[in-house]
């Protein structure tokens, strides 16, 4: 499971900004929302006749596989980097 | 056959050296050369873990660069997720694709075909070179 998301923004003016976002504390804070989202997903799965457990497992697989993703965009003196660790 | 070994055998055939001398030369040659299994070409390739997309371009006179690294595991998970899409949704998406001029039937695409595609992605390298842009897609 991803642990930290790093966001770095370099702008032509001003200092570069680098933010480390720890995902576990955020997930804990958002736990009520996540539970609600899981319930909505389970209802949607039932409506579309999809196995809710399989859908949940697959969704978790997608989240887990995000680790190692890195998106780096530069244009002139502006740059944005998003990395999932 | 190795070029030096061939030279030794030719000298033996021409009678310039004796069989014993040829044997000694070949033995010396083998000692001086590292085993073939340790060369880079014969070393087994490690399995690719990431899909990389690199784009270098110049827009409005300013250089731009996009560097994306996506774990192949994420693509595999995406394929599993795509397998959960209801057939009616795939049908609608196919109709919209056809309307947009993309004659592609998503309902005919099977998850196992996508799996096979991802499994063989590590052998694929796509390079596009243009005067103001360069695109590279490969696995590492």
Query: B25-68, pLDDT tens digit by residue?
Result: 888 777 766 555 444 455 556 788 899 999 999 888 888 999 99
Are B137 and B66 a contacting pair, CB within 8 Å?
Answer: no
Are A67 and A84 a contacting pair, CB within 8 Å?
Answer: yes
B80 C-beta neighbours (distance < 10 Å), count: 19
B83, B84, B79, B90: which is closest to B118 by C-alpha? Answer: B79
Instruction: Calculate mean pLDDT across residues B124-137.
Output: 90
ipTM surpassing 0.90: no
Residue B62 with chain A: CB contacts under 8 Å: 75-76
How long a stretch of residues is chain A? 85
Q: Do A58 and B81 touch (CB under 8 A)?
A: yes
Residue B69 with chain A: CB contacts under 8 Å: 68-71
Whether chain B has a CB inside 8 Å of the CB on A76: the answer is yes
Q: How far apart are CA B23 and CA A16, in angstroms?
A: 68
Q: How far apart are CA A84 and CA B65, in angstroms?
A: 19
Query: B50-61, pLDDT tens digit by residue?
Result: 999 999 998 888
For B126, list phi and psi in degrees, rounded to 5. -115, 125
List the single residue in A with minimal CA-CA distance to B63: A76
Query: A16-72, pLDDT tens digit by residue?
Result: 999 999 999 999 999 999 999 989 988 988 888 888 888 889 989 999 999 999 999
List the single residue in B with minimal CA-CA distance to A78: B64
CB < 8 Å from A in window 28-87 of B:
49-50, 59, 62-71, 73-74, 76-78, 80-81, 83-84, 86
């Amino acid at each position: 499971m991803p642990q930290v998301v790093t966001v770095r923004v370099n702008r032509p003016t001003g200092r570069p900004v680098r933010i480390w976002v720890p995902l576990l504390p955020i997930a804990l804070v958002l736990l009520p929302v996540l539970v609600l989202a899981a319930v909505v997903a389970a209802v949607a799965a039932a409506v579309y006749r999809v196995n809710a457990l399989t859908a949940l497992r697959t969704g978790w697989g997608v989240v887990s596989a995000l680790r190692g993703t890195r998106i780096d965009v530069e244009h002139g003196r502006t740059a944005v980097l998003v990395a999932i660790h | 056959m190795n070029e030096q070994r061939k030279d030794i055998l030719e000298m033996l055939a021409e009678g310039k050296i004796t069989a014993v001398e040829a044997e000694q030369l070949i033995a010396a040659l083998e000692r001086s050369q590292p085993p073939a299994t340790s060369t880079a070409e014969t070393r087994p390739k490690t399995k690719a873990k990431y899909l990389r997309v690199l784009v270098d371009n110049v827009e409005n006179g300013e250089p731009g660069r996009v560097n994306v690294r996506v774990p192949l595991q994420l693509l595999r998970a995406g394929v599993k997720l795509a397998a959960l899409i209801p057939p009616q949704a795939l049908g609608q998406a196919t109709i919209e694709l056809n309307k947009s001029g993309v004659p592609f039937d998503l309902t005919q695409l099977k998850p196992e075909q996508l799996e096979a595609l991802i499994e063989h992605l590590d052998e694929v390298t796509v390079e596009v070179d243009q005067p103001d842009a360069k695109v590279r897609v490969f696995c590492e």
